[in-house]
Amino acid sequence: MARLRVHNFTVTLDGYATGTNQRADAPFGDGVDGLHAWMFATRFGHEMRGLDGGSEGFDQERARAGDDNVGATIMGRNMFGPVRGPWPDHSWTGWWGDTPPYRHDVFVLTHHPRPSFAMDGGTTFHFVPDGPETALRLAFEAADGKDVRVGGGPGTVRQYLRAGLIDELNLVITPLLAGAGERLFDDLGAGLGAYECVELVTSETVTHARIVRR
Amino acid sequence: MARLRVHNFTVTLDGYATGTNQRADAPFGDGVDGLHAWMFATRFGHEMRGLDGGSEGFDQERARAGDDNVGATIMGRNMFGPVRGPWPDHSWTGWWGDTPPYRHDVFVLTHHPRPSFAMDGGTTFHFVPDGPETALRLAFEAADGKDVRVGGGPGTVRQYLRAGLIDELNLVITPLLAGAGERLFDDLGAGLGAYECVELVTSETVTHARIVRR
For A200, the closest of B179, B195, B207 (CB atoms) is: B207
Is A79 among the domain residues?
yes
pTM across the whole model: 0.94
Q: CB distance A201–B202 less than 8 Å?
A: yes
The predicted-structure confidence for A59-115, as pLDDT tens digits, reads as follows 999 999 999 999 999 999 999 998 889 999 999 999 999 999 999 999 999 999 999
A-chain CB neighbours of B185 within 8 Å are 13-15, 177
Q: Taking residues B159-172, report their average pLDDT.
A: 96
Is A89 among the domain residues?
no
Distance from C-alpha of A84 to C-alpha of A99, rounded to nearest angstrom: 23
Closest C-alpha among B13, B66, B22, B15 to residue B184: B15
Q: pLDDT band for position B183 (50/70/90)? A: very high
Beta carbons within 8 Å of A173's beta carbon, 6+ residues apart: A10, A11, A12, A13, A206, A207, A209, B173, B200, B207
Is B88 among the domain residues?
no
The predicted-structure confidence for B188-208, as pLDDT tens digits, reads as follows 988 888 999 999 999 999 999
Please tell me the total number of residues recorded for chain B in this structure. 214
A-chain CB neighbours of B173 within 8 Å are 173, 200, 207
Q: ipTM higher than 0.85?
A: yes
Q: Rounded mean pLDDT of chain B?
A: 95
Q: CB distance B179–A171 less than 8 Å?
A: no
Is A72 among the domain residues?
yes
Is B74 among the domain residues?
yes
Q: Rounded mean pLDDT of chain A?
A: 95
Q: Is B121 on the interface with A (CB under 8 A)?
A: no
The yes-or-no verdict on residue A191 having pLDDT over 90 is: no
B-chain CB neighbours of A193 within 8 Å are 177, 179
A-chain CB neighbours of B176 within 8 Å are 197
pLDDT value, residue B205: 96
**What Cα–Cα distance (Å) separates residue A127 from each residue in A6, A108, A116, B52, B71?**
20, 5, 7, 62, 62
Is A23 among the domain residues?
no
Distance from C-alpha of B147 to C-alpha of B145, rounded to nearest angstrom: 7
Q: CB distance B13–A189 less than 8 Å?
A: no
Q: Taking residues B1-14, report their average pLDDT.
A: 97
Q: Taking residues A108-129, report their average pLDDT.
A: 97
Helix, strand or coil, per DSSP, at residue B150: strand
Closest C-alpha among A86, A83, A134 to residue A111: A86
pLDDT value, residue B38: 98
A107, A121 Cβ separation under 8 angstroms? no
The predicted-structure confidence for B75-101, as pLDDT tens digits, reads as follows 999 999 988 899 999 999 999 999 999
List alpha helices for A31-152, DSSP H: 37-40, 43-48, 58-65, 77-80, 132-143
pLDDT value, residue B22: 86
Closest C-alpha among A59, A146, A54, A143 to residue A107: A143
Q: CB distance B207–A206 less than 8 Å?
A: no
Q: Which residue of B has its CA nearest to A31?
A: B193
A212, B42 Cβ separation under 8 angstroms? no
Distance from C-alpha of B107 to C-alpha of B74, rounded to nearest angstrom: 5
pLDDT value, residue B23: 85
Of A192, A211, A213, which to mutate for an interface test with B (greatest number of B Cβ within 10 Å)?
A: A192
Per cent of chain A over pLDDT 70 is: 100
Q: How many domains does chain A have?
A: 1
Q: Taking residues B14-25, report their average pLDDT.
A: 91
Q: Is A37 on the interface with B (CB under 8 A)?
A: no
Q: CB distance A211–B183 less than 8 Å?
A: no
Query: Where residue A58 sits, what CATH number does that domain have?
Result: 3.40.430.10
Q: pLDDT band for position B135 (50/70/90)? A: very high
Distance from C-alpha of B121 to C-alpha of B105, rounded to nearest angstrom: 11
Is A179 among the domain residues?
yes
Q: Which residue of A has its CA nearest to B171?
A: A13
The yes-or-no verdict on residue B172 having pLDDT over 90 is: yes
Domain containing residue A11? 4-18+35-83+96-213
pLDDT value, residue B86: 94
Distance from C-alpha of B139 to C-alpha of B133, rounded to nearest angstrom: 10
Distance from C-alpha of A156 to C-alpha of A140, rounded to nearest angstrom: 17
Omega prior to B153 cis, within 30 of 0 = yes
Is A91 among the domain residues?
no
The predicted-structure confidence for B26-58, as pLDDT tens digits, reads as follows 889 999 999 999 999 999 999 988 899 999 999
Beta carbons within 8 Å of B146's beta carbon, 6+ residues apart: B2, B69, B70, B71, B72
Per cent of chain A over pLDDT 90 is: 89
Q: CB distance B196–A177 less than 8 Å?
A: yes
- Walk across the sheet containing A117-118 and list its strands: A117-118, A124-128, A105-109, A70-76, A147-152, A4-12, A168-174, A207-213, A195-202
pLDDT value, residue B27: 86
Distance from C-alpha of B17 to C-alpha of B29, rounded to nearest angstrom: 10
Residue type, A17: A
The yes-or-no verdict on residue A39 having pLDDT over 90 is: yes
